[in-house]
Amino acid sequence: MDAVALLFIVLLAILLGWALSVALSRGRTIERLQEATGATDADDVEKRVRTALEDAEDARWNAEQANHDAGYLTELLTAGVVRLRDDLTVEFANGAAHVMLERRPGSMVGRSALEAFVDVRIEAIARVAMESGSANGEVTVRSSAGATVTVRARRSPVSGVWLVLEDVSELRRLQRIRTEFIDNLSHELRTPLTTISLLAETAARDAESASPRLRDRISKIEVETGHLTQMVNELLDLSRIESGTAQLLLDDVDLVRVARSTAERLRMFAERQGLRIELDLPDRVSPVRGDEDRLGQVLVNLIHNAVKFSPDGGEIVVGVRQEANEIRVWVRDPGIGVPRADLARIFERFYKVDRARVRGRGGTGLGLSIARHVVESHGGRIWAESEEGSGSTFALTVPLAPQDSVAGQPEGAQPEPDERVRGGA
């Protein structure tokens, strides 16, 4: 046998071995595919694999279309939409975001959050959202117009963070105009109202010998002037609170003492209306960090409302309790109650319950709005619970003062169970 024949036999053996190996491998592959797909034979395996590949292609196409649709929709929005990767580089930014931040179209993509926004505050909001799931803030961005932008950040369930930017510059400008208008109007009205009040007081003294009818009219002038003066003062107060110019004089405040002193101040007013004020107070509670005068003002408004809308012979309860990390204060009255439809709006400025139900008991509609702003400026919350015809309970909470500002926990300051539903609350 010559060398050529021997080489041919070796090559043939190699080819046969390779073919046998491929056949065995293909057989094992088909067996695994049969097990995975539940196919009965090779033809069935081929059919099912082909169907799976077609489904995968359809899914890829649908995903691409969904991405195109999402991108198209975000371009229709007036709000800026930005997507950041996990490393806080910009993966996507719609046209509104580029316009709002005065960037060239497409120039934000691929940049870090700091490079894209040129604002560490927006980057900080994104980082907080990455860690906690969500974050919000309001910043004045660096642009020629100095736009005021609200930033809402949410962590994506897949990866990265979504940011939504909304330009609120015009809204803030209108709010400043409204605040300045109310402030200026209140100042302008105070002088003539003071003059009218003094003239009415002088006329009342000079009319001691006049007819009862004239004295009654002068008395009504004094009363109505007092109402106008109260409205102007409350408007000015609310304007300052909303604009942030009303400074809080923070100190450690004992809300038990505030509740007791406020109730005593209004006890005579309540008794003239045939009502009793009862106190439900512990001996001591931990202090809160706040402005004692402002918190006292909130209680004055709540107790005054309770007296004004309660029938003669009733009992108004003022209570204080310490809970886990806050102090809860409530005022419960046996009055006419608040309709369920009005509960969500009674803390709005100028909002009043149906005037037909409270004829002759009206006010400015600002007291509860002021109370809400004061409580929220202390980091607390205020709410009302009521059933029409069964009285109301107005309650508020204020966080406890930080431990480093308190010498120690007072005795008897154990948390009490929540009692907001007691007595029609």
pLDDT range class, residue 414, cuts 50, 70, 90 = very low
Q: Among all chains, which residue has been given the structure tokens 């088909």?
A: 30
- Which residues have CB under 8 Å from 285's CB, separation 6+? 254, 255, 256, 320, 321, 322, 327, 410, 413
Contact 142, 118 (CB under 8 A): yes
- 180: domain CATH number? 1.10.287.130
pLDDT score for 409:
45
Q: In the chain, count H helices and then E strands.
A: 11, 12
Question: pTM of the entire structure?
Answer: 0.57
Per-residue pLDDT at 364 exceeds 70: no
**Confidence (pLDDT) at 24:** 54
Alpha-carbon separation of residue 100 from 9, 148, 168 (angstroms): 78, 10, 11
Task: Dump pLDDT digits (tens) for 294-311.
Answer: 999 999 989 988 988 888
- pLDDT exceeds cutoff 60 at 411: no
Q: How far is CA 222 from CA 200, 217, 257, 362, in A?
A: 6, 9, 34, 17
Q: Domain holding 132: CATH number?
A: 3.30.450.20
Binned at pLDDT 50, 70 and 90, residue 344 comes out as confident
C-alpha to C-alpha distance for 70 and 167, rounded to whole angstroms = 21
Q: What is the rounded (10 degree) CA torsion for 92, 96, 100, 104?
A: 60
Q: Are residues 371 and 399 in the same domain?
A: yes
312 and 416, same domain (yes or no): yes
Same-domain pairing of 101 and 233: no
Task: Read off the CATH number of the domain in which 302 is found.
Answer: 3.30.565.10
Per-residue pLDDT at 397 = 94
Out of 71, 88, 117, a domain closes at: 71
Judgement on whether residues 409 and 261 belong to the same structural domain of the protein:
yes
Can you tell me the mean pLDDT for 187-210?
A: 83
Residue 264: both structure tokens together: 């005593």
Whole-number pLDDT of residue 1: 54
Full domain range(s) for residue 384? 251-424
Together in a domain, 216 and 281: no
Q: Which of 183, 218, 243 is the last residue of a domain?
A: 243
User: Is pLDDT of 321 > 90?
Assistant: yes
Average pLDDT, the chain: 79
Q: Is the pLDDT of residue 416 over 50?
A: no
Q: Which of 54, 71, 88 is the last residue in one of the domains?
A: 71
Q: Are residues 342 and 232 in the same domain?
A: no
Percentage, residues of the chain above pLDDT 70: 76
Confidence of residue 393 (pLDDT cuts 50, 70, 90): very high
Per-residue model confidence (pLDDT) at position 128 = 92
Q: What average pLDDT score do residues 267-285 get?
A: 90
What end-to-end distance do the CA atoms of the chain give, in Å?
112
pLDDT higher than 80, residue 5: no
CA–CA dist 100, 196 (Å, integer): 52
When pLDDT is averaged across residues 149-164 and rounded to a whole number, the result is 90
In this structure, are 279 and 419 located in the same domain?
yes
Residues paired with 328 in a beta bridge: 321, 397
State which H helix or E strand residue 221 sits in.
Answer: helix 212-243
State how far the Cα of 312 lies from the Cα of 273, in Å rounded to an integer. 6
Are 255 and 370 in a shared domain? yes
DSSP states of 319-372 as a string? Answer: EEEE-SSEEEEEEEE-SS---HHHHTTTTSTT--S-TTTSTT----S-HHHHHH
User: What gap in Å lies between CA 309 and CA 361, rounded to an integer?
Assistant: 7
pLDDT of residue 88: 92
Max intra-chain CA distance, the chain: 155
pLDDT digits (tens, 9 = 90+) for 168-198: 888 888 888 877 887 788 778 888 888 888 8
State the pLDDT at residue 424.
Answer: 33
**Is 327's pLDDT higher than 60?**
yes
277-281 average pLDDT score:
93
Query: Confidence band (pLDDT; 50, 70, 90) for 380?
Result: very high
Same domain membership, residue 372 and residue 259: yes
228-262: pLDDT as tens digits = 887 787 777 777 777 666 677 888 999 999 999 99
Return the pLDDT at 2.
Answer: 65
DSSP assignment of 146-192 equals: --EEEEEEEE-SSSSEEEEEEE-HHHHHHHHHHHHHHHHHHHHHHHH
Check whether residue 185 and residue 271 sit in a common domain.
no
Q: Are residues 226 and 259 in the same domain?
A: no
- Judgement on whether residues 370 and 221 belong to the same structural domain of the protein: no
- Judged against a pLDDT cut of 60, whether residue 288 lies above it is answered with yes
Across the range 135-153, mean pLDDT stands at 83
Residue 237 · residue 374 · CB < 8 Å: no
When divided into structural domains, the chain yields a total of 4
